[in-house]
């Protein structure tokens, strides 16, 4: 690694401010406000100290030890302050001072070492870039995964103003990346520096405007192939054991028989991704406590697995495509007297290959998308939900007489393995003779047995097995929702009961708020059995394992639920703005441009004012000050022409270096040094004459365009040393 030249003062100041702001972002949620302020100033001081250590110079190894020593000393003093109460202040103040001391000491030591490394080796500047970028990303990490309500203070303010928080975050991300890139800039030529900054600004503007019309979505995986990011679940719905689908035990938690043992704890997981919003138009609470949003069914046994039927002859009650211009109606199978009609509006946040709706949807109708950048699809659904006790259907058959032989074979096909029939016969053997042959009682008996014997876990692997359902059912019966659903369907079919597997999402009504909005999260993906009852239709027949090693599912944040619900209702403020029907917030680009232009003009005028003042001041100053001011004005002029003194360069060496171009500057430097050391030997007229000769030297040896560019630079005096 090669050593680099010392950084300019403006560069050090800029990087110090960036690192200090990065420290504020990183510590804002971890420390009190007072500690963040201390960290800010310690970061500034560490950058200043690192520059001084570089210029003195201090050996690099000693500088590293100095940074480590400062951090350790701060920690020691902090501990001593807490333990021995060295200051005559209250206990609360003692803790605040102790925390501020430890935070400030660690920040100073760490950033001091980082700045030393960045000044010595150019690749280390990348660490500064990553630090600033990571600090900003950490501050807004709660907003990821479509949790639009976090961070709450930021999201509420943006939505109240009618601004999409993601637009602000995109701007902040671009600005953070741009600023972090500035940390990598190391050049001595100002023209090249300006060109680099211009290119970075152009890239930042392109990044901001380009994704404005498209949706930036993370990859969503449910483990059941429900989203467009996953493979078609009809290919191998059981063999993907690396992902457990949804927390099926959420169903068990809502069931009265569920008593899980949660002694086995799993590490905390990131918050699940919201994938859809459902607006309930009626006040409906399902008897089981679960809202089933069905997307597709697996009913065809292909010799190895249950897969989705592609012939179009079966499962005509399942709508498999999104409505576009016209409503889509499903073939009626449900008898209305056993079901409750529940209209809903669905707004999908994540792409899905098929639509899904509450329970058995009979009609889907397209809706106007309230926010195409947020929602990928919007449609209304009319669904029928079974709302009676299953025992009310006792005595009804399963296979209707009007079914064809092909339909019977389709919904009763199972593997040739005789163990399925043998096990189901053994389970129902003790059935009360009065209910022998009753499909409902038989199904409930099989369901109760599987719930009692099964153990819900997503840690079991059944990969590379020809019949995963057999491995689960005739093994230790440990698995997740897919295994329970397939095992239940095979047992039911072996008893002559038409059954199939449904895939979708199951939402526990207890994990949502009291409003009409239902937020469907990705971890609610679920598989459950459905049975056909003659004279009633297809009915959800879920299995709730009594034992599980899964943790309870988190409750959906009410703020997120309310926000997504209001956005689906076309309230751009998410319910935060009182005047919902008022004009939406529009970015005042004209005012911003005028302000930026005014600020830039003021900046330029300020630079010219200081520059002209420094040039004229030698003529108006007292005689004893004219030599120093004339020397400084000459340095300003040399700096315009890139002939200024380099960092760490002695004044006499500087004069010797440019003596060929400006020979009279050597004499002026000697006069200045004599005055500095208390031996003045010249009068002001002689100094004025030298200055005129220096200007003649520059005019004779420096091209006109270069001199003109130097004069037009309002802040050229800033680099004068």
Partners of residue 506 on adjacent β-strands: 292
Q: Are residues 564 and 614 in the same domain?
A: no
> What is the pLDDT at residue 580?
46
In a domain, 260, yes or no: no
Distance CA 560, CA 381 (A): 23
Strand locations in 38-122, DSSP E?
none
Q: Are residues 615 and 558 in the same domain?
A: no
Q: Are residues 317 and 433 in the same domain?
A: yes
In a domain, 2, yes or no: no
CA distances from 427 to 397, 432, 445, 707 (A): 20, 12, 7, 99
In a domain, 589, yes or no: no
Show which of 185, 214, 243 is a domain's final residue.
214
Distance CA 578, CA 599 (A): 34
Show which of 554, 569, 584 is a domain's final residue.
569
Domain holding 154, by residue range, is 9-214
Q: Are residues 388 and 519 in the same domain?
A: yes
Helix (H) or strand (E) holding 694: helix 684-701
Q: Are residues 326 and 205 in the same domain?
A: no
Q: What is the pTM of this model?
A: 0.62
Partners of residue 342 on adjacent β-strands: 383
CATH number at residue 386: 3.10.620.30
Provide the b/e sequence for 38-69 (b: ≥16 CB within 10 Å): bbbebbbbbbebbbebbeeeeebeebeebbee
Distance CA 561, CA 53 (A): 54
In a domain, 3, yes or no: no
**DSSP, residue by residue, 582-622:** SPPP---HHHHHHHHHHHHHHHHHHHHHHHHHHHHHHHHS-
Q: Are residues 545 and 641 in the same domain?
A: no
Tokens 């803790």 found at: 95
**With DSSP H G I counted as helix, E B as strand and the rest as coil, what are the percentages for the chain, rounded to 5?**
50, 10, 40
Q: Are residues 409 and 456 in the same domain?
A: yes
In a domain, 51, yes or no: yes
Distance CA 391, CA 533 (A): 12
In a domain, 100, yes or no: yes
Distance CA 339, CA 256 (A): 22
Q: Are residues 493 and 536 in the same domain?
A: yes
Q: Are residues 272 and 124 in the same domain?
A: no
Distance CA 156, CA 1 (A): 48
Domain count along the chain = 3
Q: What token pair was written down for 716?
A: 């050229």
Q: Are residues 14 and 113 in the same domain?
A: yes
In a domain, 292, yes or no: yes
Tokens 């005096």 found at: 717
Show which of 550, 569, 588 is a domain's final residue.
569
> What is the pLDDT at residue 150?
61
DSSP 8-state assignment for residue 332: P
> What is the pLDDT at residue 241?
36
Half-sphere exposure for 474 (CA within 13 Å, toward CB): 15
In a domain, 612, yes or no: yes
Residues lower than pLDDT 50 in the chain = 1-3, 212-214, 232-268, 580-581
> What is the pLDDT at residue 446?
92
> What is the pLDDT at residue 379?
93
Q: Are residues 503 and 358 in the same domain?
A: yes
> What is the pLDDT at residue 68?
86
Q: Are residues 34 and 139 in the same domain?
A: yes
Partners of residue 280 on adjacent β-strands: 344
């Amino acid at each position: 690694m090669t050593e680099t030249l010392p950084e300019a003062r403006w560069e050090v100041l800029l990087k110090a401010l960036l690192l200090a702001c990065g420290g504020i972002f990183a510590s804002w949620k971890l420390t009190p406000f007072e500690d963040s302020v201390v960290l800010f100033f310690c970061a500034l001081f560490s950058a200043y100290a690192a520059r001084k250590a570089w210029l003195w110079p201090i050996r690099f190894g000693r500088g590293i030890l100095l940074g480590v020593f400062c951090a350790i000393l701060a920690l020691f003093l902090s501990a001593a302050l807490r333990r021995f109460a060295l200051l005559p202040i209250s206990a609360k103040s003692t803790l605040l001072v102790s925390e501020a001391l430890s935070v400030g000491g660690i920040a100073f030591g760490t950033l001091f070492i980082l700045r030393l490394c960045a000044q010595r080796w150019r690749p280390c500047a990348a660490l500064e870039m990553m630090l600033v970028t990571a600090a900003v990303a950490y501050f807004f990490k709660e907003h990821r995964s479509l949790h639009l309500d976090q961070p709450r203070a930021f999201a509420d303010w943006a939505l109240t103003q009618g601004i999409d928080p993601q637009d602000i975050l995109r701007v902040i991300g671009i600005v953070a990346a741009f600023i972090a890139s500035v940390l990598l800039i190391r050049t001595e030529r100002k023209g090249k520096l300006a060109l680099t900054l211009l290119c970075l600004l152009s890239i930042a503007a392109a990044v901001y405007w380009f994704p404005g019309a498209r949706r930036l979505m993370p990859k969503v995986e449910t483990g059941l192939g429900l989203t467009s990011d996953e493979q078609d679940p009809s290919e191998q719905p059981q063999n993907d054991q690396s992902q457990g689908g949804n927390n099926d035990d959420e169903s068990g938690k809502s069931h009265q028989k569920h008593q899980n043992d949660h002694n086995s704890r799993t590490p905390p997981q990131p918050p699940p991704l919201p994938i859809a919003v459902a607006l309930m138009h009626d006040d409906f609470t399902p008897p089981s406590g679960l809202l089933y949003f069905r997307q597709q069914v697996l009913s065809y046994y292909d010799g190895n697995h249950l897969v989705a039927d592609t012939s179009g002859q079966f499962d005509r009650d399942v709508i498999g495509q999104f409505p576009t211009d016209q409503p889509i109606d499903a073939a009626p199978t449900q008898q209305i007297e056993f079901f409750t009609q529940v209209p809903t509006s669905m707004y999908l946040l994540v792409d899905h290959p098929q639509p899904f709706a509450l329970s058995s949807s009979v009609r889907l109708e397209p809706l106007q998308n309230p926010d195409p950048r947020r929602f990928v699809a919007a449609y209304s659904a009319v669904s029928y939900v079974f709302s009676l006790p299953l025992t009310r259907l006792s005595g009804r058959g399963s296979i209707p007489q009007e079914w064809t032989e092909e339909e019977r074979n389709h919904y009763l096909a199972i593997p040739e393995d005789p163990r399925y029939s043998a096990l189901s016969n053994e389970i129902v053997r003790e059935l009360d003779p009065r209910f022998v042959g009753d499909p409902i009682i038989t199904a409930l008996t099989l369901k109760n047995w599987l719930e009692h014997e099964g153990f819900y876990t997503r840690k079991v692997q059944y990969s590379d097995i020809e019949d995963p359902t057999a491995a689960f059912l005739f093994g230790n019966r440990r698995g997740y929702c897919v295994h329970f659903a397939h095992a239940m369907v095979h047992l039911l079919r072996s008893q002559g009961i038409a059954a199939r597997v449904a895939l979708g999402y199951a939402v526990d009504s207890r994990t949502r708020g009291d409003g009409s909005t239902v937020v469907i999260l990705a971890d609610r993906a679920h598989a459950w059995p459905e049975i056909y009852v003659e004279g009633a239709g297809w009915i959800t027949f879920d299995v709730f394992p009594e034992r599980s090693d899964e943790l309870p599912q988190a409750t959906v944040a009410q703020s997120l639920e309310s926000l997504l619900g209001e956005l689906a209702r076309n309230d751009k403020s998410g319910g935060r703005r009182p005047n919902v029907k008022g004009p939406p917030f529009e970015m005042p680009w004209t005012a911003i441009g005028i302000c930026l232009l005014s600020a830039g003009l003021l900046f330029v005028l300020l630079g010219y004012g200081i520059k002209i003042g420094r040039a004229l001041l030698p003529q108006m100053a007292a005689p004893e000050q004219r030599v120093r001011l004339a020397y400084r004005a000459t340095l300003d002029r040399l700096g315009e022409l890139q002939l200024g003194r380099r960092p760490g360069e002695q004044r006499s060496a500087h004069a010797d270096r440019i003596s060929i171009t400006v020979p009279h500057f050597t004499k002026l430097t000697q006069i200045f040094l004599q005055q500095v050391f208390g031996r003045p030997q010249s009068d002001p007229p002689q100094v004025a004459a030298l200055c005129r000769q220096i200007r003649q030297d520059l005019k004779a040896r420096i091209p006109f365009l270069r001199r003109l560019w130097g004069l037009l630079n309002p802040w050229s005096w800033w680099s004068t040393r």
